[in-house]
Amino acid sequence: MIPVNRQGEVWVYAEQEGGILNDVALELCGKARDLADELGVSVGAVLAGHEVDGLARRLIAHGVDRVYLTEHPRLAHFQTNSYAKVLIEMIKKHAPQIVLFGATHVGRDLAPRVASAVRAGMTADCTDLQIKDVTDPKTKQTHEKLLLQIRPAFGGNIVATIVNYDWWPQMATVREGVMPMRDLDSSRTGETIREDVEITAADMPLKLIERHVEPRTVNLKGARVIVAGGGGIGTKENFRLIHDLAGAIGGAVGASRAAVDGGFIGKEHQIGQTGTTVRPALYIACAISGQVQHRAGMEESAKIIAINKDREAPIHSVANYGIVGDANQVIPIMIKALRERPAAEKNQQPS
Amino acid sequence: MPYHSVVCVKQVPDTANITAQAMKDDGTVNRAALPAIFNPEDLHALEAALEVRERFGGTVTVLTMGPPKAAEVLRECLYRGVDRAIMLTDRRAAASDTLATSYILSQAIKTIADRFGDYDFVFCGRQAIDGDTAQVGPQCAEKLGVAQVTYMEELLRLDGRTVVVQRNVGNGWEVVETSLPVMITVIDSANQPRPPAARKVMLYKRARVKDEVVGEVKRGMAEDSDEDRQAEIQRRLADLKDRSLLIDQWDLDDVGADIQRCGLSGSPTKVYRIQSIVLTKTGYKEVPPTELGVRELIQELIVDHTLG
């Protein structure tokens, strides 16, 4: 553990592969920015790899103040020990108060090893993070501005809020696609600090023999939020709105058979009996009538919003929220509302 | 050459099959009413270790930590042919988070090495279904100072001190080679866990850890004197030992654990609040297609954590 340090930065692990930043790293930059502003501290990003210095600018444009850059030929491919060594040294040297990772295969492999080495608390797979003063019910002592780490647990049947009572750093992995990615601001400035970490052969216990990775395709199964469009969207041009809403909410794009048959989008996005069956936390059905074949593929979603101008459309029968209106008019309102939710207040909630 | 594998297993509440009996009137889950099961992916870790023994020779030691009733998962391991089972149980370990748990397990694994010989593999299931953290395996590896290979799909080759493993990387796979010892977490597509062997069930269904015997005698001889009960406990323990049916039971002192690093005092993370999710659908609510209506809807989704 490192000493409690109120000026400690909020850090993001800038996960990259082959010189391409993972989207979740950029989503975390925006979240880290919000948290850091509430704490009155800076945002740092740890960027490790080989010839990756060009990525620093993108991190800064997404809200980072300081990029800690470690480049080494031995860091060309991810492996747990070498990357953990970089993070452990950086954490010990700079004492951040919060360190966030994407809950990817890499993040969930790397973060616990780092947390163990610095003896920090670690919460997996968070879906929300907030800053709040917390009174320990046991000691009655109030701890200022702790990180609330909110995650589903127990097979998704409960939502648990985890805190570390002044035990630094507070570490968490955050589910992909949950935090909205901020718009890129190329005018933002920040600094890049080169940090040399010695990576020896002993830090490389694994030898990579072969690797086969599919390009990232539609990940409907793993998506926490899905925005799906139907035939009622009307045209391929209008279907762009579905992508825009998915982008604003941090979700994946789905479609009904009518939309696929209409040529609005590829078949790999089809949800339903002949497509993919999904059960995300939130499913937004836009101009989808909700034939039984479609409902079979999505009705187990935790929450369903139906946007359809026909009040009698069967999609309303499985929805938790129904908006009776033209999707092409309602979606822009929804995108606007999502974009404009105030950064500081958006996490306030009655407790 | 013979290989010694240690497998970490856990008894968990069956969160995947929540029945009406496990629901409270308000629609929330009554944890106590959930059946306790063998954590599913730990069965795949066990199978991986048994396959190593079958293909290359060696021994399999299985380790669990929990209350005495968790010995049930150790019997399940004995039914499937492990060579040795160890129960770590201690009230002072209660409320351990992943950091404290991995510390305790790593101490136990070191103790296993001291008493029964060095280990070559530590196998863990990828994650336990009660917490889904997937942290304890990597954290044990760090504390033991060994390499980790997570998400194993297949053990491809084992030759002397070198092992080649195929692991899942989310959008594909990779093949990695490493030297023993190594900690490996196993996913459910890696193998098909074997069923219990009937002959071993007959043999080991009476296997017990010490605290189970104590509990059984206390319940069965509630009317008798304390002296009689103690004598009966000693008699039964000696009898089980004679028949090789007494499962090793260790506490934190047996594994040389620093008590400060165990249980509550060793756990940085604390549960501050639990909100149950009501499983029944909350009914239908119509939202007007206006800016105000949509804004309120989004606010509602943020408050209930549907949106981050």
**Is B308 close to A179, i.e. CB distance below 8 A?**
yes
**Is B151 close to A109, i.e. CB distance below 8 A?**
yes
Contact between residue A14 and residue A25 where contact means Cβ atoms under 8 Å apart: yes
Confidence of residue A250 (pLDDT cuts 50, 70, 90): confident
Q: Give the residue from A349, A300, A290, A277 showing the smallest Cα distance to A322.
A: A290
Residue B118 Cα, gap to closest chain A Cα (Å): 19
Q: Which chain B residues have a beta carbon less than 8 Å from that of A124?
A: 131-135
**Is A323 close to B133, i.e. CB distance below 8 A?**
no
Contact between residue A307 and residue A327 where contact means Cβ atoms under 8 Å apart: yes
Confidence of residue B307 (pLDDT cuts 50, 70, 90): confident
Q: Out of A43-47, A58-62, A267-271, B118-122, which region has the weakest mean confidence (pLDDT)?
A: A267-271
Partner residue opposite B98 with nearest CB, options A79, A122, A165: A122
Tell me the sheet residues that pair with A102: A174
Does the pLDDT of residue B65 top 50, yes or no?
Answer: yes
Contact between residue A308 and residue A316 where contact means Cβ atoms under 8 Å apart: yes
Q: Which of the two residues, B275 and A317, has the higher pLDDT score?
A: A317
Cβ partners under 8 Å of residue B127, min gap 6 = B41, B133, B134, B185
Q: Which of the two residues, A14 and B283, has the higher pLDDT score?
A: A14
Instruction: Tell me the pLDDT tens digit for each residue of B253-305.
Output: 999 999 999 999 999 999 998 877 654 445 788 999 999 999 999 988 888 88
Q: Which of the two residues, B22 and B252, has the higher pLDDT score?
A: B252
Residue B83 Cα, gap to closest chain A Cα (Å): 29
Query: Cis peptide before A152, with omega less than 30 degrees from 0?
Result: no
Does the pLDDT of residue A50 top 70, yes or no?
Answer: yes
For residues A225-230, average pLDDT: 95
For residues B106-120, average pLDDT: 98
What confidence score (pLDDT) does residue B23 get? 63
* Residue A30 tokens, joined: 């925006």
What confidence score (pLDDT) does residue A248 get? 84
Exposure of B192 in the CB half-sphere (CA atoms within 13 A): 1
Percent of chain A scoring above 90 in pLDDT: 70
| Domains by residue range for chain B, with CATH | 3-209+247-266 (3.40.50.620)
| CB–CB contacts below 8 A, A to B | 245
Q: Which chain A residues have a beta carbon less than 8 Å from that of B28?
A: 157-158
Q: Which of the two residues, B245 and A351, has the higher pLDDT score?
A: B245
Cβ partners under 8 Å of residue A301, min gap 6 = A226, A278, A279, A280, A281, A282, A283
Q: How many helices (H) and strands (E) does chain B have?
A: 8, 14
Q: Which of the two residues, B131 and A50, has the higher pLDDT score?
A: A50
CA dihedral (A193, A198, A199, A202) positive or negative? negative
Which residue in B has a C-alpha nearest to residue A206's C-alpha? Answer: B178
Cβ partners under 8 Å of residue B204, min gap 6 = B75, B78, B79, B245
Which residue in B has a C-alpha nearest to residue A128's C-alpha? Answer: B308
Cβ partners under 8 Å of residue A341, min gap 6 = B298, B299, B302
* Residue A180 tokens, joined: 């909205």
- Number of other residues whose CB lies within 10 A of the CB of residue B159: 10
Partner residue opposite A150 with nearest CB, options B130, B136, B305: B305
Global pTM reads: 0.82
Strand segments, DSSP code E, in chain B are: 3-9, 11-13, 36-38, 58-65, 84-88, 121-125, 147-159, 162-168, 172-179, 182-186, 208-209, 246-250, 269-276, 285-287
Cβ partners under 8 Å of residue A138, min gap 6 = none
Q: Which chain B residues have a beta carbon less than 8 Å from that of A115?
A: 99, 135, 139
Partner residue opposite A155 with nearest CB, options B129, B151, B288: B129
> For A187-192, which contacts have Cβ atoms below 8 Å and span 24 or more sequence positions?
A188/A60, A188/A61, A188/A63, A189/A60, A190/A56, A190/A59, A190/A60, A190/A64, A190/A65, A190/A66, A190/A67, A191/A65, A191/A66, A191/A67, A192/A53, A192/A56, A192/A66, A192/A67, A192/A69
Mean pLDDT of chain B: 93
**Is B284 close to A319, i.e. CB distance below 8 A?**
yes
What confidence score (pLDDT) does residue B279 get? 46
Residue A323 Cα, gap to closest chain B Cα (Å): 5
Does the pLDDT of residue A129 top 60, yes or no?
Answer: yes
Partner residue opposite A282 with nearest CB, options B176, B270, B301: B301
For residues B127-136, average pLDDT: 92
Confidence of residue A309 (pLDDT cuts 50, 70, 90): very high
For residues B113-135, average pLDDT: 95
Partner residue opposite A210 with nearest CB, options B16, B97, B175: B175
Residue A51 Cα, gap to closest chain B Cα (Å): 22
Residue A101: what residue type? F
Residue B49 Cα, gap to closest chain A Cα (Å): 20
Q: Which chain B residues have a beta carbon less than 8 Å from that of A15?
A: none
> For A263-272, which contacts have Cβ atoms below 8 Å and span 24 or more sequence positions?
A263/A236, A264/A229, A264/A233, A264/A235, A264/A236, A264/A239, A265/A229, A265/A236, A265/A239, A268/A217, A268/A218, A269/A218, A269/A220, A271/A220, A271/A226, A271/A228, A271/A297, A271/A298, A272/A296, A272/A297, A272/A298
**Is A105 close to B169, i.e. CB distance below 8 A?**
yes
**Is B308 close to A211, i.e. CB distance below 8 A?**
no
Q: Which of the two residues, A225 and A64, has the higher pLDDT score?
A: A64
**Is A120 close to B99, i.e. CB distance below 8 A?**
yes
Cβ partners under 8 Å of residue A256, min gap 6 = A228, A229, A230, A231, A270, A271, A272, A288, A289, A291, A294
For residues B121-143, average pLDDT: 96
Residue A257 Cα, gap to closest chain B Cα (Å): 25
Phi (first) and psi of residue A344, to 5 degrees: -75, -40
Confidence of residue B101 (pLDDT cuts 50, 70, 90): very high
Instruction: Tell me the pLDDT tens digit for each residue of A72-124.
Output: 999 999 999 999 999 999 999 999 999 999 999 999 999 999 999 999 999 99
Angle made by CA atoms A16, A17, A18, in degrees to the nearest 5: 125
Which residue in A has a C-alpha nearest to residue B15's C-alpha? Answer: A155
Residue B81 Cα, gap to closest chain A Cα (Å): 30
Confidence of residue A150 (pLDDT cuts 50, 70, 90): very high
Contact between residue A249 and residue A180 where contact means Cβ atoms under 8 Å apart: yes
Mean pLDDT of chain A: 91
Cβ partners under 8 Å of residue B174, min gap 6 = A208, A209, A210, A211, A212, A213, B166, B167
Confidence of residue A344 (pLDDT cuts 50, 70, 90): very low
Q: Which of the two residues, A178 and B205, has the higher pLDDT score?
A: B205
Q: Which chain B residues have a beta carbon less than 8 Å from that of A333?
A: 289-291, 294
Confidence of residue A180 (pLDDT cuts 50, 70, 90): confident
For residues A237-258, average pLDDT: 90
**Is A282 close to B303, i.e. CB distance below 8 A?**
no
Which residue in B has a C-alpha nearest to residue A219's C-alpha? Answer: B171
Q: Which DSSP string corresponds to A152-186?
A: EETTTTEEEEEEESS-BPEEEEE-TTTSPPPPP-T
Confidence of residue A210 (pLDDT cuts 50, 70, 90): very high
* Residue B267 tokens, joined: 């756990």
Confidence of residue B18 (pLDDT cuts 50, 70, 90): low
Alpha carbon A224 to its chain's center: 10
**Is B270 close to A153, i.e. CB distance below 8 A?**
no
Q: Which chain B residues have a beta carbon less than 8 Å from that of A108?
A: 134-135, 150
* Residue B159 tokens, joined: 């030759």
d(CA B303, CA B308): 9
